[in-house]
């Protein structure tokens, strides 16, 4: 009986592995087409001029801080030294007066006497999402009609605020958000992190916008009027959301307004020093995207031509056709990388890391379907099905 069973299993293995190989080859071919199309769409999306501000209403910028990663002071300076003709207030928030960011902010404020800059300790506020709790603690100190939320690891150009305000002034706009690129600062792991943003995230958003499937709102920038913020429940309404930026965007859209996306990018600092830090960060990020848009996230399966080409070889064996598909997958991804770098005006010297970045991205994509717990700045959280965070245990020292 055992011999017959083994014979039957051997007969079934062939057709199944052949079918799997064909499926992988098909996904790899789709991925090649996607990479070429994404490169074109990135160029088109970021090369159009956007509106310029005609009026300059008062703006309050909220900056939630935690720690002092590489380049933090220059990031904060880029917000404080904006070329903006209207009143501007910048509020920095920390949850602990001993935070490493405090001396940096104090030095920055002291160097700009007369500017409306202030540091606040927001320890009284609490919530599963510590960044949003920090922002909520700053809310009572807002002085101006326009409120701009921005993560601490963002660096912007001097005309950034004027361009954001111009976008917010357009008819029907309830909020403004910004695309971002990676800015590596600490080595190979940081470079890999920046490549994930530039070559996977950014093209994915451009494709999603072109197909009218993406509804983005990013923590790099969320600018809205105080009236709109009050209508969606204030910042405190989002303290338990993992994808807080996405949730804010959805809430603004629910009021009947739209979220505008100007045609420029800001820089997101990538400061990962170790591969473990990179993977933990990106798994949390992937889990966030999956919670925000499950179907859209599943659709990202077509963005991984190289892993599927290699899986096709593993299931179907190496042949001239499969070898060419692997080469095509690498080549199409390199074309996308070159196009993104050319559009953003950054160096392409990291291209040699492209295949490794693509394989790591696929491993994280698969792992995200099995991850229910994420790590965030020393804390562990369970992610519920609706994307809310449930703290697990105490933070590590």
How far is 29 from 34, CA to CA, in rounded Å?
9
- In this predicted structure, the answer to whether residue 12 has a pLDDT above a threshold of 50 is no
Calculate mean pLDDT across residues 57-80. Answer: 93
Most confident by average pLDDT, 252-261, 287-296, 382-391: 252-261
Residue 120, sorted as left (phi over 0), alpha (psi -120 to 50) or beta, turns out to be beta
How far is 76 from 86, CA to CA, in rounded Å?
19
Which band of pLDDT confidence, cut at 50, 70 and 90, is reported for residue 395?
Answer: very low
How far is 216 from 179, CA to CA, in rounded Å?
9
Query: What's the pLDDT tens digit per position in 316-361?
Result: 888 898 899 999 999 999 999 999 999 998 877 788 899 999 999 9
**Torsion of the alpha carbons at 378, 381, 387 and 388, rounded to the nearest 10:** -100
Strand partners, 116: 89
Q: In what side-by-side order are the strands of the sheet with 373-376?
A: 373-376, 379-383, 389-392
In the chain, residues under CATH classification 3.90.550.10 are 59-169+217-260
Most confident by average pLDDT, 118-127, 164-173, 284-293: 164-173
Q: Which of 166, 128, 165 is nearest to 148 (CA)?
A: 165
Q: Report the alpha-carbon angle 238-242-247, nearest 5.
A: 50
How far is 160 from 154, CA to CA, in rounded Å?
12
Tokens in use for 11?
Answer: 């007969």
Q: 59-169+217-260 belongs to which CATH class?
A: alpha beta
Strand partners, 354: none
Q: List C-alpha distances in Å: 76 to 28, 65, 106, 185, 188.
A: 42, 10, 12, 16, 24
Tokens in use for 293?
Answer: 């848009």
How far is 305 from 298, CA to CA, in rounded Å?
15
pLDDT at position 232, please?
Answer: 96
pLDDT at position 358, please?
Answer: 95
Residues 6+ apart with CB under 8 A from 123: 95, 96, 97, 137
How far is 40 from 275, CA to CA, in rounded Å?
31
Most confident by average pLDDT, 128-132, 297-301, 303-307, 318-322: 303-307
Running DSSP on this structure, what letter comes out for residue 395? P
Which band of pLDDT confidence, cut at 50, 70 and 90, is reported for residue 375?
Answer: low
Is residue 144 within 8 Å of residue 236, measured between CB atoms? no
CA atoms within 13 A on the CB side of 259: 23
Which band of pLDDT confidence, cut at 50, 70 and 90, is reported for residue 396?
Answer: very low
Strand partners, 308: none
Is residue 304 within 8 Å of residue 35, measured between CB atoms? no
Q: How far does Cα 23 stand from its chain's mean position?
A: 30
What does the H/E/C string look like for 300-316? HHHHCHHHHHHHHHHHH
Coil vs helix vs strand at 388: strand
pLDDT at position 285, please?
Answer: 79
- pTM for the model: 0.85
pLDDT at position 379, please?
Answer: 61
How far is 246 from 218, CA to CA, in rounded Å?
7
Q: What's the mean per-residue pLDDT of the chain?
A: 87
Q: Report the alpha-carbon angle 336-337-340, nearest 5.
A: 85
- In this predicted structure, the answer to whether residue 6 has a pLDDT above a threshold of 50 is no
Lowest mean pLDDT among 268-272, 300-304, 305-309, 371-375: 371-375
Query: What's the pLDDT tens digit per position in 77-105?
Result: 999 999 999 999 999 999 889 999 999 99
Kindly report the backbone phi and psi dihedral angles of residue 182, in degrees, each rounded to the nearest multiple of 5, phi listed first: -85, 140
Calculate mean pLDDT across residues 246-261. Answer: 95
Residues 6+ apart with CB under 8 A from 62: 91, 93, 135, 138, 139, 142, 147, 148, 149, 150
Is residue 373 within 8 Å of residue 382, measured between CB atoms? yes
- In this predicted structure, the answer to whether residue 250 has a pLDDT above a threshold of 80 is yes
Which band of pLDDT confidence, cut at 50, 70 and 90, is reported for residue 287?
Answer: confident
pLDDT at position 9, please?
Answer: 40
Beta-strand relationship, 265-270 and 179-184 = parallel
Strand partners, 388: 241
Q: What percent of the chain has pLDDT over 90?
A: 60
Q: Which of 292, 339, 245 is nearest to 34 (CA)?
A: 339
């Amino acid at each position: 009986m055992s011999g017959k069973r083994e014979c039957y299993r051997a007969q079934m293995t062939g057709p199944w592995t052949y079918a799997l190989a064909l499926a992988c080859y098909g996904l790899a071919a789709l991925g090649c087409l996607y990479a070429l199309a994404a490169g074109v769409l990135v160029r088109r999306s970021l090369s159009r001029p956007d509106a310029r501000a005609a009026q300059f209403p008062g703006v309050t910028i909220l900056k939630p801080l935690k720690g002092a990663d590489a380049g933090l002071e220059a990031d904060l300076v880029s917000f404080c030294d904006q070329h903006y003709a209207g009143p501007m207030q910048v509020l920095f928030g920390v949850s602990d007066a001993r935070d490493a960011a405090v001396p940096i902010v104090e030095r920055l404020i002291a160097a700009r006497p007369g500017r409306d800059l202030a540091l606040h300790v927001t320890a009284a506020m609490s919530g599963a999402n510590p960044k949003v709790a920090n922002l909520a603690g700053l809310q009572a100190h807002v002085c101006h009609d326009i409120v701009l939320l921005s993560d601490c690891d963002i660096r912007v150009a001097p005309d950034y605020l004027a361009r954001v305000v111009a976008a917010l002034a357009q008819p029907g706009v309830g909020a403004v958000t910004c695309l971002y690129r990676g800015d590596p600062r600490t080595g190979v792991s940081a470079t890999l992190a920046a490549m994930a943003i530039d070559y996977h995230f950014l093209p994915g958003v451009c494709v999603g916008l072109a197909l009218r499937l993406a509804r983005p709102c990013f923590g790099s920038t969320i600018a809205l009027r105080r009236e709109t913020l009050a209508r969606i429940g204030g910042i405190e309404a989002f303290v338990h959301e993992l994808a807080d930026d996405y949730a804010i965007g959805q809430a603004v859209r629910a009021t009947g307004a739209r979220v505008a996306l100007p045609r420029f990018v800001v820089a997101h600092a990538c400061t990962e020093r170790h591969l473990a830090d990179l993977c933990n960060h990106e798994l949390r990020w992937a889990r966030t995207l999956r919670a925000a848009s499950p179907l859209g996230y599943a659709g990202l399966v077509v963005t991984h031509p190289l892993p599927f080409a290699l899986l096709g070889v593993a299931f179907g064996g190496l042949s001239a056709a499969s070898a060419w598909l692997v080469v095509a997958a690498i080549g199409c991804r390199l074309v996308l990388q070159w196009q993104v770098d050319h559009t953003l005006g950054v160096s392409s010297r990291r291209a040699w890391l492209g295949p490794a970045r693509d394989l790591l991205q696929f491993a994280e994509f698969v792992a995200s379907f099995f991850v229910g717990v994420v790590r965030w700045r020393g804390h562990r959280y369970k992610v519920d099905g609706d994307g809310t965070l449930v703290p697990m245990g105490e933070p590590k020292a």
